[in-house]
A and B are shown apart, each in its own frame.
Chain A
Amino acid sequence: MTDWTDPTQVTRASALEMADAMRAGTVTSVELVQAHLDRIAAVDGPVHAFLYVNAEEALATAAAVDADRATGAALPLLAGVPIAIKDVLVTKGMPTTAGSRILEGWLPPYDATVTAKVRAARMPILGKTNMDEFAMGSSTEHSGYGPTHNPWDLERIPGGSGGGSSASLAAWETPLAIGSDTGGSIRQPAAVTGTVGVKPTYGGVSRYGAIALASSLDQLGPCARTVADTAALHEVMGGHDVMDATSLDEPVPSCLEAARDGAANGLAGVRIGVVKELGGEGYQDGVKQRFEEGLDHLRALGAEIVEVSCPSFKYALAAYYLILPSEASSNLAKFDSVRFGLRVERDTIEKTMGATRAEGFGDEVKRRIILGTYALSAGYYDAYYGSAQKVRTLIQRDFAAAFEQADVLVSPTAPTTPFKIGERIDDPLAMYLNDVATIPANLAGIPGMSLPAGVAPEDGLPVGFQILAPAHEDARLYRIGAALEKALVAQWGGPLASLAPELEVAP
């Protein structure tokens, strides 16, 4: 049992345990927020998960929740539980940069819908987490503010683009975080830090106020250390929003109920498809081993394992790196020195724009904007962008056929455990391979989860297990994920994050 008077134990509890303890009166929201702010002060120097710490407002929100609770007022499930928000979401009163120098110090004049939902859920916001610039990357090394370091090994990457969110969870700086996933930016960071992350069905969470990367691929989602916590946050974030025309007009999935069902009742009658193309060559031995062991657990829980083939997946990475840059080159045109952000003054507006964008954007953003400009240019459009859109149809057909044979599909989340900072920074194509298993879900709009599968025997670093479900069937991820998590946690003796080496604490 958690000793709620011990700040270290407090930060290691799950979000749902924190919520229960507040309801039972054994801990206050102010105590929870203070324990996490103290933890951030103690370890975030070397980890660098946060770009901004929102201490004053978080404590004020917590105090208001505690006061309301003392009067016996009805409060939302996660009221008083602290949360971190990826810097891709606009937050009124907190600087928002999307990891780019071009937005340094920008104070947004409005809240994103998800920010507003977090506030309405009465959750204190601890701060904004680091990310690759405009979410372009798999390591956070492309952040304009320096990389985040993986709490499992500070010389290694925490994944990306949401490496700030994943590292903040693994470093016990927050129990919950928000991410965004365009090609794997929630799932791959979860995999390499031993945490959990979900990309919902496209349109399941409003993107109003999320700084757009690629509008046909982007989706916001929940990040946590347990499947049930992730489910509870998903229900806070989800739902229809008239401010986002791509938002689905349907009820929020019952994620938490599905997670409880999976953990309690096992998986008898569930068919699970292993995607042949997402494994084998190019996947690290320890990744394959832990994935196979995950399949053994699923079998033991009563599931039937079948192999499925998705032959068009071989084109997914290429199609993604045409569609994403094309959409990004258009979305990032708004950073033009006129309405917000950096301006590098020259004698005409055109020269000012060129100088501003040269200084404000990093190399990866420049590469992708130029690539997108090329792919959309006259004479090349059909060959590149047009073909990439055909690939998208083929991938959707592969998924449709696979889901005829299985209720969910599974694979390793990423081909390797976290690599060393700097190792792939000058080789964009090697960097892009990190997302080979996560990208197909974004191209098809389907939901996906990554949860810890263990540590690779050869390096002791975390491995992620990916579950994919048909569009609108997000609840299946939580049912299967919670069942697998329960079996693995019983084997490990606690959540995987608790097996990470202790971080050095600043005095």
Chain B
Amino acid sequence: MSTLSRADVARLAALARIDMSDSDLDRLSGQIAAIVDAVALVSEVAGQDVPATSHPIPMSNVHRADEVRPSLAPADALAAAPEAEDGRFRVPRILGEEA
């Protein structure tokens, strides 16, 4: 496993939709690389024939009765939205100029 570069951190931040300034990258990329180096310890068990555990208490097919219940009113759901219009969430345009 390889150490993360500053460019790697910039690319990952873009994938995670977090804008990063140069000073953010200066501050955070070394710390993140150090954490990646530390957690790479788990690779020692990678070769072992051990099943993976994703959930501490195994459960499957959790069902509940299919009953009509009260749910959030549209006005309540929209009440905390940064912008709403005609009973919907309003957002800035999806496509940029070049599209």
Contacts and interface: CB of A to CB of B under 8 A. Distances in A.
A352 B91 contact: yes
Interface string A383-411: 11011111111101000000000000000
B19 A357 contact: yes
A373 interface: yes
B17 A201 contact: no
Contacts of A69: none
A110 B72 contact: yes
B86 interface: no
29 contacts: A202-B56, A216-B55, A217-B56, A242-B65, A315-B45, A321-B39, A338-B81, A342-B82, A343-B82, A349-B91, A354-B17, A357-B19, A369-B18, A374-B4, A384-B1, A384-B39, A384-B40, A384-B42, A386-B46, A388-B42, A389-B52, A390-B42, A390-B45, A390-B51, A392-B53, A393-B51, A394-B45, A394-B50, A445-B57
A387 B32 contact: no
Interface in B15-44: 15-21, 24, 27-28, 31-32, 34-36, 38-44
Given A315-B45, A366-B13, A394-B45, A389 B18 contact: no
A354 B41 contact: no
A471 B91 CA distance: 45
A348 B96 contact: yes
A360 to B, nearest CB: 10
A428 B29 CA distance: 12
Interface string B53-66: 11111010010110
B81 A340 contact: yes
Interface string B69-97: 00010001101111100000101111110
Contact of B79 (A109, A322, A390, A445): A109
Contact-size category for B: 35 or more
Interface of B: 1, 4, 8-9, 12-21, 24, 27-28, 31-32, 34-36, 38-46, 48, 50-57, 59, 62, 64-65, 72, 76-77, 79-83, 89, 91-96
Nearest to B13: A370
A229 interface: no
B43 A387 contact: yes
Interface residues of A, number: 75
Interface of A: 106-110, 201-203, 216-217, 242, 245-246, 248, 314-315, 318-319, 321-322, 329, 336-343, 345-355, 357-358, 361, 363, 366-367, 369-371, 373-374, 377, 380, 382-384, 386-394, 396, 426, 428-429, 442-446, 471
A394 B46 CA distance: 12
A444 B57 CA distance: 8
Contact of B50 (A346, A363, A377, A390): A390
A341 B28 CA distance: 25
A387 B81 contact: no
A392 B52 contact: yes
Contacts of B59: 203, 245-246
Nearest to A332: B16
A217 B53 CA distance: 12
Contacts of A429: 34-35, 38
Given A348-B95, A444-B56, 10 more contacts: A318-B39, A337-B82, A337-B91, A342-B82, A369-B16, A371-B36, A390-B45, A390-B52, A394-B48, A428-B31
A357 B42 contact: no
A358 B62 contact: no
A445 B57 CA distance: 6
A242 B52 CA distance: 27
Central interface residue in B13, B14, B20, by most chain A CB within 10 Å: B13
A248 B57 contact: yes
B44 to A, nearest CB: 7
Contact of B93 (A110, A321, A347, A371): A347
B62 A245 contact: yes
B93 A370 contact: no
A373 B37 CA distance: 16
A353 B40 CA distance: 31
Contact of A383 (B28, B46, B54): B46
Given A107-B79, A348-B92, A373-B15, A428 B35 contact: yes
